[in-house]
């Protein structure tokens, strides 16, 4: 090319002729008008307004004209390029508006459409009760301890001071794990309570010891309104210097307050468990009639059967024989323990009359506990 040259080159500057400029401009305007989206417009801009576009190249040739011809050619090319630039801008504005309109239409949300929400599910009511009770004790500084569901007979019974002939071991209560030959003698059972976790905690943790152990338990019970062969318990254990039954009472009161609200009295009555001495059965004042049904002239109460009290847990001071079995000096340390059934607590708290409702998976039951318990 000869831009800047003073030589007149008739071939090169043909691009500056009115016809050529008009042709290049019309081609550009046609391509711009034909662009149906912003990508096509971009291509048209490159072809007709870019560095290699005919009008751009023509513009560069102006300097090659004799000085007298430059002004006119410059005006011509400038006018054509101005038209093209404006056409591009207008088309761009129009295409952008079209695009925005399209997006708005495509992404419209019709808030009047019926919702097709997928239910998210929720934790099982048993889990909610278990977590709630666990949280109460964790907040008081207890640690969560867990143990296996298939447990050695020694942990489940012997270390807990169950004599070899204790009826709880009998075939009608305990699910024994078959030995290698398919017969008895594996020494393993499906744990019948969470108390073996006490033994594991005492054998593996430092003293003083404060643990809470929620978990699944198994017994050979037939499934009926109040029994299930698979159920849950939560166990508490504290071993420290100078612990007394007064400390146990405080711990028991804490879970009653957490589960049923503050202000219900608790009562201990003598009971027997091989692993605690003394042992007690814990009752709380009925949270529905608050004892009123048992007073003269009180209205009958279905929840406590007009007893005024509801049994909720077993507890006691850890039997020194159990401490000894775990290598703990009973002259220096004492402990307390308690255990309660999760399903039973759930049923009492919410008036559930059939334990089978908690395992049959009817979503209407679970939904009633879906959010808060
Ligand atoms: N393990 C007992 C049961 O399954 C419940 C129990 C009673 C646990 C007294 C304890 C306790 O820790 O001290 O019936």
Residues 177 and 131 in one domain: yes
In a domain, 6, yes or no: no
Q: Is residue 212 domain-resident?
A: yes
Indicate the top mutation candidate among 133, 160, 168, 339 to test ligand 1's pocket, ranked by most ligand atoms within 8 A of CB: 339
| 183 in the same domain as 39 | no
CA distance 250 to 348: 21
pLDDT at 231: 97
Does ligand 1 come within 6 angstroms of the Cβ of 338? yes
Domain that holds residue 242: 125-367
Does 111 map to a domain? no
Answer yes or no: is pLDDT of 35 > 60: yes
Q: Which atom of ligand 1 is nearest to the CA of 236?
A: 12
In a domain, 8, yes or no: no
Residue 179 has a pLDDT of 85
In short, whether 193's Cβ falls inside 6 Å of ligand 1 is yes
Please give the pLDDT value at position 11.
44
23-52 in b/e form (b: 16+ CB < 10 A) is ebbebbbebbeebeeeeebeebbeebbeee
pLDDT confidence band for 119 (50 / 70 / 90): low
Q: Residues 173, 313: one domain?
A: yes
pLDDT digits (tens, 9 = 90+) for 333-367: 999 999 999 999 999 998 899 999 998 877 778 77
Instruction: Provide the CATH number for the domain around residue 202.
Output: 3.30.930.10
Tell whether 152 is covered by a domain: yes
Q: How far is CA 237 from the centre of its chain?
A: 29
Better-predicted residue by pLDDT, 370 or 336:
336
Q: What's the CA-to-centroid distance between 268 and ligand 1, angstroms?
A: 14
- 234 C-beta closer than 6 A to ligand 1: no
Same domain for 89 and 131: no
Number of folded domains that form the chain: 2
pTM of the predicted model over 0.75: no
Among 123-137, 189-203, 264-278, where is mean pLDDT lowest?
A: 123-137
CA distance 35 to 226: 77
Say yes or no: 72 and 164 in one domain.
Answer: no
pLDDT at 169: 80
The reply to whether 187 and 84 lie within a common domain is no
- 228-247: average pLDDT: 97
Ligand 1 atom at minimal distance to the Cα of residue 336 = 13
Any atom of ligand 1 within 6 Å of the Cβ of 232: no
Q: So what's the pLDDT on residue 118?
A: 73
Distance (angstroms) between ligand 1 centre and the Cα of 236 equals 9
């Amino acid at each position: 090319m000869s831009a800047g040259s003073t030589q007149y080159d008739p071939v090169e500057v043909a691009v500056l002729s009115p016809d050529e400029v008009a042709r290049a401009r019309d081609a550009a305007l046609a391509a711009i008008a034909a662009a149906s989206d912003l990508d096509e417009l971009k291509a048209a801009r490159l072809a007709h307004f870019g560095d290699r576009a005919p009008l751009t190249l023509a513009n560069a040739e102006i300097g090659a004209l004799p000085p007298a011809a430059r002004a006119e050619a410059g005006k011509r090319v400038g006018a054509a390029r101005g038209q093209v630039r404006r056409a591009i801008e207008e088309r761009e504005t129009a295409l952008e508006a079209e695009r925005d309109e399209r997006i708005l239409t495509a992404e419209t949300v019709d808030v009047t459409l019926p919702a097709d929400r997928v239910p998210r599910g929720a934790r099982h009511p048993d889990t909610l009760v278990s977590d709630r009770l666990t949280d109460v004790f964790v907040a008081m500084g207890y640690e969560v301890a867990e143990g296996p569901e298939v447990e050695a007979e020694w942990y489940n019974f012997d270390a807990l001071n169950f004599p070899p002939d204790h009826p709880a071991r009998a075939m009608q209560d305990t699910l024994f794990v078959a030995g290698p030959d398919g017969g008895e003698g594996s020494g393993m059972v499906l744990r019948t309570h969470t108390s073996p976790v006490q033994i594991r905690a005492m054998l593996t943790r430092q003293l003083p010891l404060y643990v809470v152990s929620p978990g699944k338990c198994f017994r050979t019970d037939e499934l009926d309104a109040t029994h299930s062969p698979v159920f849950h318990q939560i166990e508490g254990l504290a071993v420290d210097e100078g612990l007394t039954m007064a400390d146990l009472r405080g711990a028991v009161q804490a879970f009653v307050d957490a589960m049923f609200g503050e202000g219900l009295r608790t009562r201990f009555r003598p009971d027997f468990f091989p692993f605690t001495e003394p042992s007690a059965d814990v009752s709380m004042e009925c949270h529905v009639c608050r004892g009123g049904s048992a007073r003269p002239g009180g209205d009958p109460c279905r929840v406590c059967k007009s007893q005024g009290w509801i049994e909720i847990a077993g507890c006691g001071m850890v039997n020194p024989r159990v401490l000894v079995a775990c290598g703990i000096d009973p002259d220096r340390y004492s402990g307390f323990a308690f255990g309660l059934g999760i399903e039973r607590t759930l049923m009492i708290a919410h008036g559930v009359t059939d334990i089978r409702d908690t395992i049959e998976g009817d979503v209407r039951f679970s939904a009633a506990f879906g959010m808060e318990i």
